[in-house]
Each structure stands twice: as structure tokens, then as C-alpha cells.
Amino acid sequence: MNIISKNNSFDSNSNSFNSYLNVVKQTDGNKEKRKEAYCKLAEAISRGEFIEINGRKLGKKDLYIQSLELDQKPKEGRVYSRLADLLSDGESVIISEESLKKKDLYLRALNIDLNIASACASLADLISDDEHVAINGREVGKRELYKRALLRNPRDLNARISLSNLLKKGETFTLDGKRMTSTDLLVSVLAKVGEEGLHEIWYNLGNKMEDDERIKINGKEMTKIDVYIETLKRKSDFAPAYHNLAKTLSALNLSTVKMPNENEMTEKELYAEALRLELLQQDFVSLTTCVALFFSLAPLETIKIGAYEISRFRIGQKCKELDPDIANLNPEFETAFQQEWEGEREYSSYVWEENYLTNQEAAAEREREYEEKTPEESEEV
């Protein structure tokens, strides 16, 4: 079995590997050396690989656990951190008869060394926005953990994205000697990943921008609308981007926007597309989208959603289905809906009357034509 370490420093046939293997096989050997040897062996193998030691097959996690069994307070907290990295959510390990989960292991790592950037970021990922954990007698929150992770490792793009989501409007964080806002952090991420940026990053950036704000990414100036278009280039069926793009059009008093497929879309068409996608995906239909579409339409107007022409009245009905209490929560909507209802009734009555009169006139015209015919013509008919 050939076992290669992550840094290719030795393999299973190397003198170093065999030396560490011999150390751990000596159960009565030097405790400090055995502890270190278990760690080195763990670093040398990949997940799913095993080393046989004194009749036992030990994998990567097992080797770290063996090291910690020999010394639960190692000088380096990275042993706990690396073990935590190997666990899935909810999984636990037993060390000296104590059950420990990922969060517990990261806490132990940071109580030994608060400067482990990866452990700071990983622990922050595990706790809620308003949760605090005790580290060296201090209560530390999610934001402080991400900040500390970035101070130790500014290249951690995930930490930049996560911290950006937590910073309030106007709040800044100094990184690489530069004061950065929430928007600046996301721009810095996109400047590094460029075209490979995920749609969520572009979408979050758009949400943080002012309607008339302009930013530069790799020298290219972009508006809020441009950023949402970039979102849709990466995920064309992302309903929230259509919704927010429509809101931005309205805020800027723009009539249309050019989409990635070069077609122009209006505010109401964007809301309609957002609603169509929400209905299609069936996991969530936004009351906000429904109400926005209702108000973007003129009285008695219809709009195409998918293959169907849907009336403003029917969209209002959908709003009431989504929230039966909307009349109390949004009196403006309720007033507009009642007016639409009255208009719909009058229009339906008008259409019926027009059809009736048209049919009556058509019948009378046929009768006149019949009477004007000659007897011979009438017999032929």
C-alpha cells in the first residue's frame, strides 16, 4: 500500500513513514514521540485509507484521536481543528470517554490557539448570527470569528462573503490596510474569482448596492442593474434576481432593461417572470412578488405568465390566498383589490351585454336577409 502525504514529504516506503510507524507500534514508548507520530501518520494518508497498527486498522480520524488520547491539551490546537474538519455535521467522536462534536473540537482548538484561521471560520459557520461562544474566558460572536479568520488569512474568500453578509450598512472592517464595507468585501471576492463567481455572490452584491450606485470590478464599471444581469447570466431561472431587477427599474424610473438574451423586459414582465419561476419551482411563492406584480399592472390589465393570460384581479386573488390577513396588513392593496373586483364585475357585465346585443343584432340581420329573399331563394334555403 502506497500512502502519500498531502505535501508529498514521504510515502509508505520512506524512512520517515516507517520511522513514525515503528514509534506508534511501541505501546510502552515515549508518549510525546508517539503523540507526534500519530499526527504525522494522519497527515500522510487520505480519507478512506488505513494503516494497520498492532492488528488494528486505523484511518485518518482514528490516528488524530489516538494522538489526542495521549495528550488532550496539546501545544498546537491544530490537532483538534484537523480532526473537526473530518467530521460531518452531527457526527461525534469519543476522546477519553467524552463525546465531542465539530463545534466542541473547534472550541478546544481555539482555546489553545485563537490564531488558527480555518478553525475561526469553521466555528463561525456552525454558530447562529446572535450566538456567542466562550474562548479563553471571553464571549466571542460570529462576526468576530470571521474577522479574526481574515486577519490571519486574508485569502479566505468564503470568510469574506460570510462577513459581508453580517456587516451592517455603513459598517467597515479593515483588511490589508484598507477599510472595507460589506459591498467592498464582495467586490474583492469577485475581483479574484471573476467570471467564475457564483450567482449568489453577484446577487448579494446587487442587494447591498444603492439603486444608483456604481462599482468597479477588475476595472469594469457596473451598475446595480448590471450586477443583477450578471446574476442571471449564471442562473437564468433565479426568481429573486428578476424581482429585485424589477424593483431597481422602478426606483430608477426606467421603462425596460436588456436581458442576457438581448430581449427587452419591462418592470411588470420581470415580476411576472419571477412569479412564474416561483410557481414552477413550487418550493416558495413570494407574497411580495405577487403584490408587486398586482400594483405594476393597470386596472383590468392582463399579463402573460407562461402560456396563460392572467388578469390583475386573479393575481390579487392569489395574494389573498397567500395571506388571508392581507386586508389588515396592507389596506392600500385591499382598496385597490376591491376596486379591481368592482371593475371586473362591470367589465364582465359589459362584455356579456355587448355579446348579447351583438347576438341579437346578428339574429335580426339574418331574419331581415331571409325575409328579403325571393320565394325561390327561400325554398332553396
What contacts 80, CB < 8 A, 6 or more positions away?
A: 68, 74, 105, 106, 108, 109, 112, 119
Helices (H) and strands (E) in the chain, counts: 18, 14
What contacts 82, CB < 8 A, 6 or more positions away?
A: 42, 43, 64
User: What's the mean pLDDT in 179-185?
Assistant: 93
What are the sequence ranges of the domains in the chain?
238-372
* CA–centroid distance for 218 within its chain: 24
What contacts 290, CB < 8 A, 6 or more positions away?
A: 275, 315, 318, 319, 322
Answer whether 84's CB lies under 8 Å from 122's CB.
yes
Q: What's the maximum distance between 2 C-alpha atoms anywhere in the chain?
A: 127
> Beta partners for 229?
none
41: which 3 cell numbers?
A: 501518520
> Beta partners for 179?
174
Residue 124's pLDDT band, with cuts at 50, 70 and 90, is: very high
What does the DSSP assignment read for 97-165?
A: TEEEEHHHHHHHHHHH-TT-HHHHHHHHHHS-TT-EEEETTEEEEHHHHHHHHHHH-TT-HHHHHHHHH
Residue 342's pLDDT band, with cuts at 50, 70 and 90, is: confident
**What's the Cα-to-Cα distance from 67 to each of 31, 102, 254, rounded to whole Å?**
9, 17, 64
What is the H or E stretch that residue 375 is in?
Answer: helix 375-380
38-60 pLDDT, tens digit each:
888 988 888 888 888 888 899 99
Residue 222's pLDDT band, with cuts at 50, 70 and 90, is: very high
Indicate whether 140 pLDDT > 60: yes
Q: Is 283 exposed, middle or buried (0-12, 13-18, 19+ CB in 10 A)?
A: exposed
What's the pTM value of the predicted model, to 2 decimals? 0.72
